[in-house]
Structure 1
Amino acid sequence: MRALLLAAGIGSRLRPLTDTMPKCLVRVHDKPLLDYWLGLVFEGGIERVLLNTHWLAEQVRQHVANSPWRSRIDLVHEDELLGTGGTVLANRDWFQNEAFLVAHADNLTDFDVPGLIAAHNRRPKGHVMTMLGFQTDDPSSCGILELNAQNTVVAFHEKVKKPPGNLANGAVYIFEPDVMVDIAGVGRAFVDLSTEIIPNYIGRILCVETNGYHRDIGNLESLRRAHSEFKQKPHQERVVAGLS
């Protein structure tokens, strides 16, 4: 399976750090966020990764050139940001008409990559998407999910003031190629997955909740909390609920 790591964001809420550093290279415990992701997905069985770049792209290119994973990483530059779905669509040939993983690489996480893939492979009939879920301590800032007894997403509440619960969209997905048709159907280059595509699949999305660490480090307070909370181990056990 191939994976798109969305890494082109400007990171305006992390200024002044991101005035001179791309968001994906912000450090937690003196390790760039992107390196956590590359280790996680490649060690988890992903064959090849695509990174999109935009802000301070040359720093990302140089970092990838020095990565031990460099031979398995492709880069694509966006002069203008295409949105999460737009990036998927612009690179549709790269996915080779097979199921693929998409992740917002501005989260710090240790979810079970093989477990998520296994869950997708045994997803209920008619489901074309698997989504990572996590318990958030700030539900009003997230997309909150409602599930049925089969862990199918039956409702999605995107950043509302009083959402019905704490189970949030972890912004990690496995898509079947069918989803590409829906993205193309929007009819323009800029497409947002969370608002324009994912709601179309309510009732056909499997949610897999991680028991591991998962935090959006999109602002300075979240980054501070990640430094104090995240305890990486050399061979850290990664557990996905119901898949251990």
Structure 2
Amino acid sequence: MNGTKTALVTGANKGIGFALAQGLASMGFTVAVGARDDDRRAAAVARLRAEGADAFGLALDVTSDTSVAAAARSLDRLDVLVNNAGIAGDFAGGAQETTTLDLDVLRTVLDTNVFGVVRVTNAMLPLLLRSDSPRIVNMSSNMGSLTLRTGPVLAAYASSKTMLNSFTTLYARSLAETPVIVNSACPGYVATDFTGFNAPRTPAEGAAIALKLATLPDDGPRGAFFDDAGTVPW
């Protein structure tokens, strides 16, 4: 397949997602900025283009079958998919304490962080399977590690990332005989609105491991979980 490779980043209008779009563009990818908010998506694309990136906006609400299907139909090629869109969910008043978990919060978090990833991945797979070197990167968190059990107890968010890592391994198994390489990335504790901008790492630092996984060689690892230091215990 000839021509410039195309990468789609979901939730790319801000934070780590925007840094991922910047990084992929600097590597020569045409970047589809996936975001549901029209104004924020347009602003992100304008900023990327001002920096010299080849970028375009893609209306994409990962919680909507209709939106995701329309986004997939609008693309003529896809080489890299970064499932970055994610939410922390409400945690006020014990909503994410395990013993008082608000099931509506759990449903809302899973709809974006898990169902959204499956919805987008399955819609985009026909395009990815036509690529010479397709890559899928799922943006996870070490809070989802059953071994590390890091961070505060956010039962909806943490369990969503555990489940996301499970899907990474399941996709890797299902796609083992194809060129599609799927892995999870942990960006670390990054200063974004997600963390109240009170964290030591920049979005660009958080994006670095995902950019590496997005451009793995054809014999690269599959179905694994990585951060900057290497493999993350599950």
TM-score surpassing 0.5? Answer: no
TM-score normalized by the length of structure 1: 0.41
Q: Which fold has the larger relative contact order, with Cα–Cα distance below 8 Å and residues 6 or more apart in sequence?
A: 1
TM-score normalized by the length of structure 2: 0.42
Question: Which one has the bigger strand percentage?
Answer: 1
Question: Which one has the bigger helix percentage?
Answer: 2
